Amino acid sequence: MEQQDLNKRLLLALALSFFVFVGYSYLFPPQKQVAQTEQNISNTQTPKAVTTQSTPKSTPVNMDKAQNAPKSASTGKALATVTSNTFKITIDEFGRIAQYELLEAKYKDAEGHNLQILGTNEVKPLEVRFSDAKINDEAFKTPYTLDGSASVDVSSNAQILILTQKLSTLTVTKKITVKPDGSYDIDVTTSSPAPYFITPGHRPMADSSRYMLVRGALVEGADGVITTIPDGDAKGTETFKNAKIASAFDRYVATMFYDFKKGMNVSILKVGNDDPLIFVEGGQNLHLGGYIGPKEYNILKNINPELTNTIEFGWFTFLSRPFFKVLLWIHGLIGNWGWAIILFTLLVKLTLFPLSYKGMMSMQKLKDLAPKMKDLKAKYKGDPAKLNAQMMELYKKNGANPMGGCLPMILQIPVFFALYRVLLNADELQGATWISGWISNLAGADPYYILPVLMGVTMWFQQRITPNNFTDPLQEKIFKWFPVLMAGMFIIMPFPSGLVLYWVVNNIFTIGQQYVINKAYARHKEAAIAAHHKKEKES
């Protein structure tokens, strides 16, 4: 297969993989999460117990009665509210976080409403389920009482809420210390041993995007290994001993528990459409760290650097995470996410330039050798072995590498998808302005469609100056229409403008790179011709 043909096949493969990876998930999104109603709450099993030294061995029972859990999370009365400059937390009469509301302007919807991240009928953070069916039944009928003010402000300092539930044979006390950054400490004590489990809640349901996003549960084990259980993939038998972090996450937000000293015994329950629900085994005296809110890197890092591991980028996390850190570093220097994306794109192009240079120079040489290669194919049509040997000799004589142009293109595939994940999942891009009056939210679509059109135009121009040597007419047609297809898709689908900005800038830098290489090859060719003429004269 000729090099030019192979390169075009690789580019078409990239295009097709992009359509499958992104386009299909947008046009045929997964079914919307089914709200966990009274019926499927009541049919839920408590997690299997994990034996620890601090609590006796427990055997959880089936939650097979409706009264074992509240009929609806929305029916619980508000017991307390916690407010800061950026969020509002509502604690209900069952001692749970009934709702978490983001107060910053960038999270408001089109009607100006604040974003509420917890599903109305889903299991709430800090819900406790007892292994003993009788205790559990009574616990979901008995409200907590609050010691202190029902309205707490944590804008400047941490505040403590003490909730008490008095059951017939047991008293449960929850001490919640809420901090200004959205993190909190939860201390649960029981007057006597009674095995139970506590949950950070069902994953937030704050984003309804149609993109192929990772949502579900994430657990970092004692060995630092991170396990992600996406929605729809839970088995209900997953357990983790001495886990450091257990997070239920959506695109931009998460609710989590963590314990970096003793660890947590975590069980995953299967609910709804095989979605994961996290439970942590409790003891008579339980202390956990917790966080609920946006997955912003600096917020999580300031709480504990290891919490930044909960920022999940899907399949390409191994590349996306270092890319994200570089973007954060650049943003820290210049203070604007749009220019940070542009500089990062330039950095990527400069890093790959040596490979791109060699590959594109090789493509130019192969283009010049095309007539000779055609003659060889005609001459040795019936002798493949001889043809291959002669072609290799031709490549060697002219310093051409038949695979030289493949590597740069192959490297672009994981780089693009890793950046796609970063720019799609980074909460920092929400409300980030690039050019005032034009792009006011890099996490949202370009309101004037300028970037998608520029992307199509730059792709078309890039094709015009790139050496082509198609052998398949169908490939040539697809390749020529590719810029139109991509621009149309980016207009129809509301892709984040930060992602489209990267693609446009990447195209512009590639055009400049192609001009440099074309001129360099022209000089190289002229020098080679001059040297050849000089050699002929001397001979």
For the chain, give the mean pLDDT: 83
Which is more confident, 364 or 451? 451
Give percent above pLDDT 90 in the chain.
53
Q: In terms of pLDDT, which residue wins out, 437 or 343?
A: 343
Mean pLDDT (whole number) for 69-94: 81
DSSP label of 23:
I
Which tokens go with 258?
């963590």
pLDDT value of position 69: 46
Residue type, 533: H
Q: Are 303 and 159 found together in one domain? A: yes
pLDDT attached to residue 489: 84
State residue 463's pLDDT score.
82
Domain check: are 412 and 276 in the same one? no
The closest of 152, 9, 10 to 79, measured between CA atoms, is: 152
* 125 lies in the same domain as 215: yes
In a domain, 322, yes or no: no
Q: Check pLDDT > 60 for residue 268.
A: yes
Task: Answer whether residue 10 shows pLDDT above 60.
Answer: no
Assess contact for 374 and 390: CB atoms under 8 A. Answer: no
- What's the pLDDT at 531? 75
Highest-pLDDT range among 294-308, 350-364, 402-416, 472-486: 294-308
Residue type, 255: T
Whether 262 and 295 share a structural domain:
yes
Q: Name the DSSP letter for residue 45.
A: B
Q: Of the candidates 251, 278, 310, which is a domain's last residue?
A: 310
Q: What CATH number does residue 185 fall under?
A: 2.70.98.90
Q: What is the mean pLDDT of residues 9-28?
A: 52
Looking at residue 14, what is its pLDDT? 55
Residue 226 within a domain: yes
Does residue 33 or residue 311 have the better pLDDT?
Answer: 311
Helix (H, G, I), strand (E, B) or coil at 60: coil
Q: What is the pLDDT of residue 42?
A: 35
Angle (CA) 412 11 368, round 5°: 105
Boundary of a domain, candidates 260, 279, 310: 310
CB 441 within 8 A of CB 430: yes
Q: Which residue has the higher pLDDT, 403 or 479?
A: 479
Domain boundary pick from 257, 279, 310: 310
**Is residue 278's pLDDT more than 70?**
yes
Note whether 38 and 17 are same-domain residues: no
Report how many domains make up the chain.
Answer: 2
Supply the pLDDT for residue 207: 86
In a domain, 318, yes or no: no
CA distance 11 to 463: 12
- What is the structure's pLDDT at 60? 37
Q: Does residue 172 share a domain with residue 88? A: yes
Write down the pLDDT at residue 412.
72
Q: Are residues 244 and 369 in the same domain?
A: no
The confidence band for 417, taking pLDDT boundaries of 50, 70 and 90, is confident
Contacts within 8 Å (CB) and 24+ apart, 171-176? 172/95, 172/128, 172/139, 172/144, 174/95, 174/126, 174/144, 176/91, 176/126
Residue 258 has a pLDDT of: 98
Is pLDDT larger for residue 376 or for residue 216?
216
**What is the reported pLDDT for 33?**
43
Same domain, 44 and 15: no
For the chain, the distance separating the N- and C-terminal CA atoms, rounded to the nearest angstrom, is: 38
Q: Tell me the percentage of the chain whose pLDDT exceeds 70.
A: 81
Domain match, 414 and 303 both: no
Whether pLDDT at 302 is above 60:
yes
Predicted confidence (pLDDT) at residue 472 exceeds the cutoff of 90: no
| 48-66 confidence digits (pLDDT tens) | 433 333 333 343 334 333 2
Two tokens, residue 252: 């931009």
Task: Give the residue among 98, 99, 93, 95 at the shortest CA–CA distance from 113.
Answer: 99
In a shared domain, residues 300 and 342: no
| Helix-helix angle 473-492:3-18, to 10 degrees | 30
Contact by Cβ (8 Å): 428, 297: yes
Q: What is the pTM of this model?
A: 0.81
Q: Is 492 contained in some domain?
A: yes
Per the structure, the complete domain to which residue 492 belongs is given by 3-24+329-538
Domain shared by 289 and 337, yes or no: no
In a domain, 320, yes or no: no
Does residue 329 register a pLDDT over 50? yes
Q: In the predicted model, is pLDDT for residue 181 greater than 90?
A: yes
The predicted pLDDT at position 396 comes to 80
With 80 as the cut, is the pLDDT of residue 336 above it?
A: yes
Mean pLDDT along residues 365-372: 76
Q: Which residue has the tokens 């937000």?
A: 253
How many degrees, rounded to 5, is the angle at CA 530 between CA 527 and CA 531?
Answer: 85
Residue 67 forms part of a structural domain: yes
Per-residue confidence band for 367, with pLDDT thresholds at 50, 70 and 90: confident
- The pLDDT of residue 469 is 55
Confidence band of 509 (pLDDT split at 50, 70, 90):
very high
Report the C-alpha gap between 470 and 359 in whole angstroms.
18
Tell me if 293 sits within 8 A of 303, measured CB to CB.
no
At residue 143 the predicted structure's pLDDT band, cuts being 50, 70 and 90, is very high
Given a cut of 50, whether residue 151 has pLDDT beyond it is yes
Contact 62, 45 (CB under 8 A): yes
**Which burial class, exposed, middle or buried, applies to 382 when counting CB atoms under 10 A from its CB (0-12, 13-18, 19+)?**
exposed
In this prediction, residue 495 has a pLDDT band, given cuts at 50, 70 and 90, of confident
523 inside domain: yes
**Dihedrals phi, psi of 187, to nearest 5 degrees:** -115, 120
Residue 380 lies in a domain: yes
Whether 46 shows a pLDDT value over 60: the answer reads no
Mark out the alpha helices in 267-405 (DSSP H runs): 297-303, 317-334, 337-379, 384-398
Same structural domain for residues 81 and 149? yes
Q: Which two tokens stand for residue 243?
A: 């886990």
